């Protein structure tokens, strides 16, 4: 009686919904009355593509699952290997290096190894978490790459302009300042500045990198 026969998934793409159903397939046939809900949620939150999950029993035979997917904000690149990284710095999936062309790249040395589902605790993870602010501000598509070195965030725009944001704090304010200034600047390819420094928001500075002598 009340055996689990159907799983309805909300908040997920068709591909993610298939992952969800696959992850809890072993619960099929279990009575909804005896179902271990914590075990179901734990199984789902172990998926690298999911932030959180909840459920409702819909008697007589259906389990309704609601999921919050991870938000991919960058592609982590190391040599020929590529991974999609979330706004929480989590390694979501192994991807083709040519995929997700509209989101920024984070470049790492060749041979860098990561584990699927792990959370990056180094500068690469900090850069991914910083990119969440660009996504929240609707400015991520303008970004080509990001890095953090010595706790300083630098972002490359697709226009060729480099943004120097200092420590990754007050990013929404810094991004707002960038968005107000960038339209007034000529493109680097047209003789405009190479970088815009907003590490001190009250004193933004645009300039050009010194050209090597030769």
pTM of the entire predicted model: 0.88
Structure tokens at 136: 């929240």
Contact 49, 19 (CB under 8 A): yes
At residue 1, the pLDDT reads 81
Mean pLDDT of 181-185: 97
- Please give the Cα distance from 60 to 175 (Å, whole number): 51
At residue 213, the pLDDT reads 55
> 179 — phi, psi (to 5°)?
-65, -25
What's the pLDDT tens digit per position in 87-132? Answer: 999 999 999 988 899 999 999 989 888 899 999 988 999 999 999 9
What's the pLDDT tens digit per position in 21-64? Answer: 999 999 999 999 999 999 999 999 999 999 999 999 999 999 99
Count, in order, helices (H) and strands (E) of the chain. Answer: 4, 12
Tell the residue number behind the tokens 């991914």, with chain if given: 128
What's the pLDDT tens digit per position in 137-168? Answer: 999 999 999 999 999 999 999 999 999 999 99
The answer to whether residue 214 scores a pLDDT higher than 60 is no
Pairing of strands 62-69, 72-78: unpaired
At residue 97, the pLDDT reads 85
At residue 121, the pLDDT reads 84
């Amino acid at each position: 009686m009340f055996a689990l026969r159907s799983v309805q998934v909300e908040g997920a793409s068709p591909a993610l919904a298939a992952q969800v159903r696959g992850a809890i397939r072993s619960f099929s046939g279990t009575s909804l009355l005896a179902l271990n809900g914590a075990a179901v949620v734990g199984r789902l939150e172990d998926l690298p593509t999911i932030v959180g999950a909840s459920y409702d029993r819909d008697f007589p035979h259906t389990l309704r699952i609601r999921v919050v997917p991870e938000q991919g904000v960058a592609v982590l690149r190391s040599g020929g290997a590529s991974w999609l990284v979330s706004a929480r710095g989590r390694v979501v999936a192994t991807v083709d290096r040519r995929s997700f062309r509209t989101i920024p790249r984070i470049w790492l040395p060749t041979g860098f190894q990561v584990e699927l589902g792990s959370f990056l605790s180094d500068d690469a993870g900090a850069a991914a978490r910083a990119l969440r602010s660009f996504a929240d501000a609707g400015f991520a598509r303008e970004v080509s790459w990001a890095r953090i070195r010595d706790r300083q965030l630098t972002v490359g725009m697709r226009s060729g302009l480099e943004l120097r944001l200092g420590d990754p704090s007050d990013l929404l304010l810094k991004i707002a300042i960038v968005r107000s200034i960038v339209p007034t600047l000529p493109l680097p390819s047209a003789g405009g500045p190479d970088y815009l420094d907003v590490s001190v928001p009250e004193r933004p500075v645009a300039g050009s990198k010194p050209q090597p002598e030769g």
